[in-house]
């Protein structure tokens, strides 16, 4: 099976098709991308924790949930909140990340819906990660921007889903009222193109024909005048 697919294919399976109860796997993907850009072959746990901390510190400026359980928060949300309140120093926060954030995500990064993919983008032990050639192949060539855009869009999608769950939203009779009450001004939705195309694979949502060579548009399946939102679950490429 491995010979039938490229490194990029397995990478996209991890990013686009896994079941995520938190955003850790997406954040680790961002770290791996940054390390390959820097040309690192080996990353110790302190380096990984520092990169992880910086990525989450920037991400949590927008105060979006990182876990699908409305009554809990991730360890990253916890430590960055303490850091922002000046309860811990940056070095203390990074040390906390190193000792607490990677117990699940590092061993399970290559597992998608309880199945391990037949490729590893890193080897690991208690000292850190050794990045493999397959990881560097993912970001080799001219598709770097589209792949990292898929990662960022997937993160947006997870946060949006977690937020809806925390707001006690249900797809029931009152769904339209929910969106009308929480409706917002139209925003630029072209930034969702990368992750949507990851699912549609260059095919038009409506007719199934290839979109290669054509002008691609993002469309609302349920018209925006019905639901005053630009949620990604209601967007398709045409």
Cβ(31)–Cβ(51) below 8 Å: yes
Residue ranges per domain, the chain? 2-138, 169-237
Residue 19: other Cβ atoms inside 10 A? 8
Q: In the Cβ-directed half-sphere of 205, how many Cα atoms lie within 13 Å?
A: 17
What backbone torsions phi and psi does residue 180 show, to the nearest 5 degrees? -65, -40
| DSSP-derived secondary structure letter, 111 | E
C-alpha–C-alpha distance, residues 231 and 22, integer Å: 19
Q: Give the model's confidence band at 149: pLDDT under 50 very low, under 70 low, under 90 confident, else very high.
A: confident
pLDDT of 129 strictly over 90:
yes
Alpha-carbon span 98 to 153, nearest angstrom: 26
pLDDT on residue 184: 58
How much is the mean pLDDT over the chain? 85
Question: Which one is predicted more confidently, 135 or 206?
Answer: 135
Residue listed under structure tokens 């997870």: 158
Q: How many CA atoms lie within 13 A of 57 on its CB side?
A: 16
pLDDT band at 235 (very low <50, low <70, confident <90, very high): confident
């Amino acid at each position: 099976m491995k010979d039938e697919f490229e490194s990029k294919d397995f990478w996209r399976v991890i990013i686009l098709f896994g079941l995520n109860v938190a955003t850790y796997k997406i954040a680790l993907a961002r770290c791996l991308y940054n390390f390959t850009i820097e040309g690192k072959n080996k990353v110790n746990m302190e380096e990984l924790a520092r990169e992880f901390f910086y990525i989450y510190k920037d991400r949590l400026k927008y105060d979006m949930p990182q876990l699908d359980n409305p009554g809990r928060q991730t360890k990253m949300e916890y430590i960055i909140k303490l850091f922002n309140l000046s309860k811990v120093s940056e070095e203390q926060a990074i040390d906390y990340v190193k000792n607490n954030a990677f117990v699940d995500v590092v061993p399970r990064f290559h597992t998608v819906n309880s199945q391990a993919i037949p490729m590893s983008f890193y080897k690991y032990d208690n000292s850190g990660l050794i990045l493999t050639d397959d990881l560097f192949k993912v970001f080799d060539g001219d598709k770097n921007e589209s792949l990292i855009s898929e990662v960022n869009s997937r993160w947006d999608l997870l946060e949006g889903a977690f937020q809806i769950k925390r707001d006690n939203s249900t797809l029931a009779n009152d769904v339209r009222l929910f969106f009308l009450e929480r409706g917002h001004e139209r925003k630029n939705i072209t930034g969702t193109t990368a992750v949507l195309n990851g699912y549609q694979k260059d095919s038009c949502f409506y007719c199934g024909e290839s979109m290669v060579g054509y002008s691609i548009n993002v469309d609302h399946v349920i018209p925006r005048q019905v639901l005053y939102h630009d949620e990604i679950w209601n967007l398709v490429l045409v």
